[in-house]
Amino acid sequence: MSHLTLRTEYSFRKCFLPMKDIHKYVEGGVVGICDENNTYGHIPLQIEAEKHGFIPVFGVRLAVVWPDTEQRKCDALSCFIATSQDGLRNLNHLVSQAWNQFYYFPRLFPDQADLPGVIEIDATDDNLYGDVEDREVYELMAGSHKRGDEYSYSFQRRTWPGHVIPNEPMVGTFRHLHIPRGEMVQVTGKFSIENECRSRMESLRLTGNQEYEDRLARELTVIKEKGFEDYFRIVADMVGWAKERMLVGPARGSSAGSLVCYLLRITEVDPIKFDLVFERFIDINRGDLPDIDVDFPDSQRNQVISYLKKKYGASKVAGLSNINRFNAKSALNEFAKGLGIPLWELDDIKAAEIDRMRGDADADHCLADTFKTPAGEALLAKYPKMELAARVEGHASHAGKHAAAVLVATKPLIEYAPINNRDGVVMLDKYTADYLGLLKIDCLGLTTLSIIQEACESVNIPFSRLYKLSREDGEAYRLINEGRVAGIFQFEGQA
């Protein structure tokens, strides 16, 4: 007996089961997941399978209803699992189709549910949590409503395996299923990064300057060795196209430390003049693509994305999803509401909260460590069950759309994950996209740039003139020193 249709944290508040614990439910070397209306858990499942050596089974829960129904709720969901590589792709098509037909909830019609390599299976694992010990955590996380003194939950037993895999060949089929890695987008044409850089150096009268020559040679060597040339070609082409039509941000983030970015006019800041470090941009010890953050007027960002779709194919370009997770503060608030604790009683512990950046090995243990402080101990002394809040820190809460990121691929993105056309996103976040090796471009739309561009147009000044403004304007720094930063991007508000 095996688990083939487990819900996980990617059923978003409908289940408490962290993906890092999925290996605990392996039976017969196999475990499968079927989250509701999405496949966000598929790549995390594949990563856990590689780590723990079990066979992953990829599935999804979807509503199948008659075309003429106007029902606004569907509790009886069907589970579909992939039994072949074609089935894995068809699973993506099923989910995409369901979202295309969204009416109160994603839905399939009976004649759409039968695709090669996909089988429907009884969902005996309609679990709301993994073990009975997790019940209270689930109730408080999901915000279940009380009936009298009891919570309204429908699952009160331990999650037992409930599926019989028919035969050994099917186990072998599952063993060979995997989500394919992507390939770097190839740029056709005669665009040469080195030639473009040297041409711009000549126009800036920097040719022969040994410091610039050495820096350019060093950066080009790293870029070529890492196979990033096409990435720079794509971004340079996009920015060049945009600068002919709109005001583009001069530079933001670590890309300002690259001479290649400056010479390709991806950025407008000379890194040597301002003593900026290239290694902050590309770490020679890492293989992932560097981040080039590019800012556009928010009123014209869609034009840039339309250009990418026209150039590389509409099916190969889409927005990136964002998985929002419980942090220390949101976990405290959620559990306090469930326990009927006034939020003002959390003021002391929030002030004492230990905060860590994502990527820190202990990033998901901030609340557990905060509970060890005097403020945390005082709260637990009065409300002991608040300790359960630490267990959901880092747990998936809901999915959204990344504010800036756009994926560009060599193949249709539906080969890797479903497409939610309602939101214009592929069901991948930045971590799973990096795992697949897909190209992510950060295109942020800023109201600030729209206002500046409109101001230039209203007084008939070419906005390209702004790129030549002095970086040593004493009056500009005086305004900043005086704290007059309202309306200045990344200066206003609290850091």
Total length of the chain = 495
Counting residues of the chain whose pLDDT is more than 90, the rounded percentage is 63
Q: What dihedral do alpha carbons 184, 189, 190, 196 form, nearest 10°?
A: -60
DSSP-derived 3-state class of residue 122? coil
DSSP state of 179: P
Closest CA to 74 of 41, 36, 100, 39: 36
pLDDT for res 168: 62
Per-residue pLDDT at 124: 66
Round to whole Å and give the CA distance between 38 and 42: 9
| Residue 162 reports pLDDT greater than 90 | no
Q: 3-state DSSP call for residue 178?
A: coil
Distance CA 277, CA 67 (A): 59
pLDDT tens, position by position, 289-309: 788 999 999 999 999 999 999
Antiparallel, parallel or unpaired: β 118-121 and 30-36: unpaired
Q: How far is the CA of 292 from the CAs of 91, 141, 219, 338, 420, in angstroms?
A: 33, 36, 15, 42, 25
Work out the pLDDT band at 3, boundaries 50, 70, 90. confident
Give phi and psi for 443, each to the nearest 5. Answer: -120, 100
Instruction: Evaluate whether 352 touches 373 at the Cβ level (below 8 Å).
Output: yes
- Banded model confidence at residue 171, pLDDT cuts 50, 70, 90: confident
- What is the pLDDT averaged over residues 188-193? 79
DSSP-derived letter for residue 141 is H
- Residue matched to tokens 């939020």: 343
| Structure token digits, residue 389 | 């809040």
Query: C-alpha angle with apex 411: 444 to 310, nearest 5 degrees?
Result: 55
**Each residue's pLDDT tens digit, 331-381:** 999 899 888 889 899 999 999 888 887 777 777 889 999 999 999 999 999
- The confidence score (pLDDT) of residue 146 equals 47
133 pLDDT band (50/70/90 cuts)?
A: confident
Cα(260)–Cα(215) distance, integer angstroms: 9
For residues 290 and 255, is the Cβ–Cβ distance under 8 A?
yes
Evaluate if residue 127 carries a pLDDT over 80: yes
Model confidence pLDDT, tens digit, residues 249-287: 998 889 999 999 999 999 999 999 999 999 999 988 877
What is the spatial distance between Cα 339 and Cα 143, in angstroms, rounded to a whole number? 10
Q: Is 60 exceeded by the pLDDT of residue 125?
A: yes
